[in-house]
C-alpha cells in the first residue's frame, strides 16, 4: 500500500512538472517581445527585398542572394529548391547567417539562426502563396519545394552611428 502511495505521489509530481514545463514553453513561444522581434526582422527583410544567406559547404563558406521571408504559424520561413546546393548545405548543417542592408536608413541586419525544414504541405503552400511569382518554378506538392523556418534567432541591427541592437526569438 505504501509503495502505491509513493508511486502515485511521484507520478503526480512528475506529471505536474511536465505540464508546468509545457505551459512555460507555450508562454515563451507566445512571448509578445519575441513576436515583436520576429515581426521587426521580417519587415526589415521584406523592405530590403534581397538579403544574403550564408551556409557552410564542408569547410567553405557559401553566400548567395535570397528574397523570401514569410511569417507562418509564429515562425519566420524562407524557401528554396531542394535540388539546389544551398538546400543540401542547410540540411547537412542547419546553422546559417543572413545579412541585409537598407541603404535608405543606413541600417544593416545580421542574423544567426538554425533552419528547420518543414515538410507540411500547408507550410509550403502558404509560402508560395505569398510569392506567386515562384509558382511557375515550384509547387507545394512537388519533390523540389523546400521551406525552412528559422530557430534560435539572434538578430543584430547595426548602423555606423548608433550602438548595435540585438533581438532574439
The model's pLDDT over 58-82, given as tens digits with 9 standing for 90+, comes to 999 999 999 999 999 999 999 999 9
pTM: 0.81
Q: Both 13 and 36 in a single domain? A: no
Q: Both 70 and 19 in a single domain? A: no
Q: What percent of the chain has pLDDT over 90?
A: 82
* 97 has pLDDT over 70: yes
Strand locations in 92-160, DSSP E? 95-102, 107-118, 145-158
22-34 pLDDT tens trace: 434 444 456 899 9
Report pLDDT for 30.
62
DSSP 141: T
Q: Both 92 and 164 in a single domain? A: yes
Question: Domain range for residue 73?
Answer: 32-168
Q: How many domains does the chain have?
A: 2
Q: Both 21 and 40 in a single domain? A: no
Q: Both 67 and 146 in a single domain? A: yes
Report pLDDT for 31.
84
Q: Both 94 and 47 in a single domain? A: yes
- Domain at 147, CATH number: 2.30.110.10
Amino acid at each position: 500500500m505504501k509503495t502505491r502511495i509513493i508511486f502515485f505521489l511521484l507520478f503526480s509530481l512528475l506529471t505536474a512538472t511536465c505540464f508546468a514545463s509545457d505551459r512555460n514553453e507555450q508562454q515563451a513561444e507566445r512571448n509578445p517581445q519575441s513576436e515583436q522581434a520576429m515581426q521587426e526582422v521580417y519587415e526589415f527583410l521584406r523592405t530590403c527585398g534581397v538579403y544574403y544567406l550564408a551556409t557552410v559547404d564542408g569547410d567553405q563558406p557559401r553566400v548567395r542572394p535570397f528574397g523570401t521571408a514569410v511569417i507562418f504559424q509564429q515562425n519566420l520561413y524562407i524557401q528554396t529548391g531542394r535540388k539546389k546546393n544551398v538546400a543540401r548545405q542547410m540540411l547537412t548543417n542547419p546553422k546559417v547567417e543572413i545579412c541585409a542592408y537598407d541603404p535608405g536608413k543606413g541600417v544593416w541586419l545580421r542574423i544567426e539562426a538554425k533552419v528547420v525544414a518543414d515538410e507540411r504541405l500547408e507550410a509550403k503552400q502558404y509560402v508560395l502563396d505569398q510569392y506567386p511569382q515562384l509558382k511557375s518554378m515550384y509547387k507545394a506538392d512537388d519533390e523540389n519545394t523546400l521551406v525552412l523556418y528559422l530557430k534560435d534567432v539572434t538578430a543584430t541591427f547595426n548602423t555606423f552611428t548608433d550602438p548595435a541592437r540585438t533581438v532574439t526569438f
